[in-house]
Amino acid sequence: MSATAHSNLHRNAWTDWWEGSRRVDIWWTLAWFDIVLRYRRSLLGPIWLTLSMGVMIAGMGPLYSALFGTELSRFFPHLALGVIFWGLFSSIVPDACHTFVNSSHYLKQGYFPITLFVWRSLGRNIIQFAHQIVLYVPVALWAGISLSWHVLLFFPAFLLLLVNAHAIGLVLGLVCTRFRDITQIVTSLMQMLMFLTPVFWLPENLPGRARYVLWNPLAQMLDLLRTPLMGGMASVHDWLGILCWTVVSIVGASLLFVKYRRRVVYWL
């Protein structure tokens, strides 16, 4: 057993990443049990995720539509998808900060590829998102959204989201395990970015000089995901911005992973 652990610790970074990523049976089961344990002894279980999000959207829709002077049938889908996708963003990023800290009992007991726990965190958030995206269906039917072939662009956009989420999960997992104060900074930053991202407001309502906020990667990612589901097509500017951000996040995650992956257990 010790010989196996010794050889595992000295394998190359690619093999280490692949070993954790390919064990879908393990990290998906762990993610599912995280959800089950969170709602243990609850009558409705994860359905509370859907109900709480639905109540919030239903309450905010008419109010914000009146505040911004926008027709409800046009604003309501924009708000609903914005809140749903922001809920995914705002759960992925803080969870990434606690990825290895919350899995310390596994990492201290024996060798596990650390990517296994990054996928576990991401899988848990995907399960929560699946319970919330179903709210899009009644909203789309009520608003009379007519979908075109542009809706297929949602799938490459979601794939880009997963790639970035995994890379950011590695970066934040490593950095926040070593420097615990970074978690508080990331949490505060996400709260600020919520207001700089067109979740509750329409981008066209911005004055010309304020449009720089749309360079925010989360705003670009939101546009790639939301626009196809509203019958439109995201701008080329947003696609190029996210592709550039994806390259940066993969390179940054790779460098940190290669250098520090073996030190995680000593930081716990």
Cα–Cα dist 27/181, whole Å: 27
For 62-92, the pLDDT digits (tens) are: 888 887 777 888 888 889 999 999 999 999 9
Kindly tell me if the per-residue pLDDT of 190 is higher than 70: yes
C-alpha angle 171/175/181, rounded to 5°? 135
Q: How confident is the model at residue 214 (pLDDT cuts 50, 70, 90)?
A: confident
Q: In angstroms, rounded to a whole number, what is the distance separating the alpha carbons of residues 122 and 124?
A: 5
H helix or E strand, kind and range, residue 237: helix 236-260
Task: Give SS3 for 104.
Answer: helix
Average pLDDT over residues 170-193: 92
Q: Are 75 and 65 in contact (CB under 8 A)?
A: yes
d(CA 27, CA 11): 21
C-alpha span between 101 and 77 (Å, rounded): 37
